[in-house]
Copies of this chain bind each other. A is one copy, B any other.
Amino acid sequence: MQMLADLTERQRFLLNLIVREYTETAQPVGSRNLVEKYHLDLSPATIRNEMAVLTDFGYLRQPHTSAGRIPTEEGYRYFVTHIVYQADLPEAARHTISHQFYQARQDVEQWMPLAASILARHSRAASLVTAPHAERARHKHLELISTQGRQVLMVLVLTGGEVRQQLLTLAEPVTQKRLSEAAAALNLACNGKTTEEIAALPPRADALEKDILTLILADMNRDEQRLSGEIYLDGLTNVLSEPEFLGSDDARRAIRLFEERSLLQNLLMRVMPDSSVGGVQVVIGGEGKWEELKQCSVVLARYGMPGQATGMLGVFGPTRMAYSRTIPTVRFMADLLSGLVSETIAGEENEQ
């Protein structure tokens, strides 16, 4: 078996056809069927010869002698990198999607679920979107609100429009007035500063302010290693009705990933550790490294402004996924969200 061979134009064309046919029907594709369905100007025998070559190269395999061919993981990989990667989303789809976002442009909160829903519908698989998360966030505004007894709601607004909130329990009850004063003092001291700069400040004289500051720092740091908490999911049911998820336990187990957010976060961090924006990452069938992704594929991209605020979005489905729809959609959505994020950030800089 040879590997990494260059394919002829015709072989590429056939591989393309076979992958598309298989992703559609979930059935091994045979030579005669292929000729008939696509009205090829070749005889089944010729196709068989080419198929034999592609099988030799490791791009196709037969579930058993005398069944049709199905793509191997390498076959999908070739298909993705050499055939479909550069494809663009059709103009009509781009238009529709842009329009949907235009309608929701005021309500930032809607962006993530909308993106997830669009991804799910277009890829007919499960989708996930994480909120954009400022990488070098600066303090913008702090608010402390007494809710009940010793419980205080801390709302922290960072540059980039990111809002964090946390419920604190203080050692003893404090009046709203006292809280407001503390917040005002801290706002004055921290305004426009990064985590490092805040950390370098001389310790606060006031005990309450000191405690709060510690919590602010912890909160700003927390999400620099981890992902921001919110992950928006959609389209799980798409994937549930696929035959591979009905039959195989392996695949079914992968769905647990989506339920346990912590597992999902972990996976995202492992697949896309760096924060560069631009490429679409495709993990096919786990590729040896991801035991839990056997029989599944993931198409991921990072969006936003590198170094400032980025998030991730992607699609999860069976290895036999419609990459030719999914990859362009993921890329387009990433670009679109990047645009929205940079508009937001630009607006903010003008403001100052």
Closest Cβ of chain B: how far from A35's Cβ, in Å? Answer: 35
A340 CB within 8 Å of chain B: no
Q: How far is the CA of A234 from the CA of B258 in the complex (A)?
A: 11
Closest Cβ of chain B: how far from A42's Cβ, in Å? Answer: 40
Instruction: Name the contact of A176 in the complex, choosing from B141, B173, B237 (C-beta under 8 A).
Output: B141
Main secondary structure of the interface of A (DSSP, over half): mixed
Interface positions of A from 30 to 75, Cβ below 8 Å from B: none
Chain B residue at minimal CB-CB distance from A187 = B176
Instruction: Name the contact of A141 in the complex, choosing from B141, B146, B151, B237 (C-beta under 8 A).
Output: B146
A161 CB within 8 Å of chain B: yes
Contact B155 A147 (CB under 8 A): no
Contact A143 B145 (CB under 8 A): yes
Residues 244-261 of A, flagged 1 when their CB comes within 8 A of B and 0 if not, give 001000001001100100
Contact B155 A145 (CB under 8 A): yes
A83 CB within 8 Å of chain B: no
Chain B residue at minimal CB-CB distance from A144 = B143
* Interface residues in chain A, defined as those with a beta carbon under 8 Å from any beta carbon in chain B: 106-109, 140-141, 143, 145-149, 151, 153, 155, 157, 160-161, 163, 165, 167, 169, 173, 176, 234-237, 240-241, 246, 252, 255-256, 259, 344, 347-348, 351
A-B contact pairs, 9 of them (CB 8 A): A106-B169, A107-B167, A147-B157, A148-B351, A153-B155, A153-B163, A235-B259, A236-B259, A237-B256
